[in-house]
Amino acid sequence: MAQSQRITSGILEGVRVIELAMNLGIPYAGRILAAQGAEVIMVETSKLPQVLRYPPWIGFDPTQAYFPELSAMKLSISLDLRYPEGQRVFKDLVGISDVVTQNFSQAAITEWGVGYETLKEVNPRLVYLSGPAMGSSGPFRDYIGYGLMTQGLCGLAGLTGTSDSPPQAPGINLPDSYAGILGAGFVVAALQRRARTGQGMHIELPLYLAGVTALGPHILDYVANQRVNQRIGAHSPDFAPHNFYPCQGEDRWCAITCLTDDQWEALCGVLGNPLWTRDPKFATMQGRKENEEELDQLIGRWTTSRRAEDVMEMMQRAGVSAGIVAKPSDLTADPHLMARDYWLKTVSPAHGPHPNFPVPIGLSNTPFQWGHTTASIGEHNQYVYGKLLQMSQEEIQRLTDEGVFV
């Protein structure tokens, strides 16, 4: 992405973020900050690229789509912090920046000399966001933690699935997404505090702790009632019907929920008020819960011959909460998202032009910003080293030849 392609009128215009991070969680925070006008500079090296750029577990396939989604509004420099010269340049960059984000291991951060205590000597106003898997203290602090492990440890997987299935992992790494959203919010809060006090701060946001926050009601239920919630699939402990119902076509489903007797009566009307809906055992919410398996089968017989989109539309018109179980192919053509101009265009070397999506946060006076291109590694070396740091071409070339800027 060329610097001239950036639109800079967001709430974070003029804020410079140095992103020293891998995988999803902390880079997603940078994605949000960039969308609000910050200049986000990814620190990579061709010897150690952002893992999602060329995921090693799939053979470094450059056509994978995760990275363009995370990086479309960011700049990229090549900088190897394993060299003392690389560490010096990094500190020079920190000196003219506002925020550093990182999620490397404590061992790597210490070896490279880029921890908060070191960098705040360079820039006392620095806001420093770190996202270790487990945190910098506690008995698990040195554990390696990726998506499946953290989703299991924080309890998410234990509640996902049906009563007769083993624990299930959601299709995405939810603790990473939580950490990204929370991290971006706390960076903005820290910048506001700095504007008042002149002081920077260290924000630590472990993936494990971010995941545990999602289980708040379940943890409180145990503390208050000594009740351990179990896997119940798409059912609700309180309401029925509350499930995914099969629809016409291969692997097509519609979610239907009734929270009140009025909604139940409306659903019965959509179904044509068949005789079974008048059975006394379905007359109350308690009765519907007690006979939930039979109820699901009866509703499923009606939905299975109809398109999921038609079921959703009929239910919604009657005042019943319903929505298709969408696939990515549904979302890219979703009429609601299209009407809101949700999908934006990104250009990446591997994909060419393709749809991408903005941060789903709307601000009335400073809408999100958008850059159109995914940067290649080191694409912005000249801008960062030559313009921002005022390094001579000779020095840039020397450090390139020595492997520092490769």
In angstroms, the CA 116 to CA 122 distance is: 10
Q: Angle at CA 46, nearest 5°, toward 45 and 50?
A: 65
Cis peptide bond N-terminal to 27, omega within 30: no
- Residue 73: the pLDDT is 84
Give me the average pLDDT of each 10-residue run along the chain (406 residues): 41 94 90 91 89 62 65 91 97 98 92 97 98 90 84 90 89 85 95 96 93 89 92 94 98 98 98 97 97 98 98 98 94 86 68 67 68 80 97 97 96
The angle formed by the CA atoms of residues 389, 391 and 396, to the nearest 5 degrees, is 120
Residue in this structure with the two tokens 């880079």, named with its chain if needed: 27
How far apart are alpha carbons 45 and 79 in whole angstroms?
Answer: 5
Tokens of 254: 């519609």
- Rounded to an integer, what distance in angstroms lies between the CA atom of residue 384 and that of residue 41? 9
Are 200 and 127 in contact by the 8 Å Cβ rule? The answer is yes
Alpha carbons 154 and 163: distance in angstroms, whole number: 19
pLDDT for 351 equals 60
In sequence order, what are the beta bridge partners of 45?
A: 48
With a CB cutoff of 8 Å and minimum separation 6, the contacts of 241 are: 256, 257, 258, 264, 267, 288, 292, 295, 296, 299
Residues counted in the chain: 406
Domains observed in the chain: 3-214+343-401 (3.40.50.10540), 242-331 (3.30.1540.10)
State both tokens at 224.
């208050």
CA atoms within 13 A on the CB side of 382: 5
Q: What is the pLDDT of residues 117-148, one digit of tens each?
A: 999 999 999 999 999 989 889 999 888 887 78
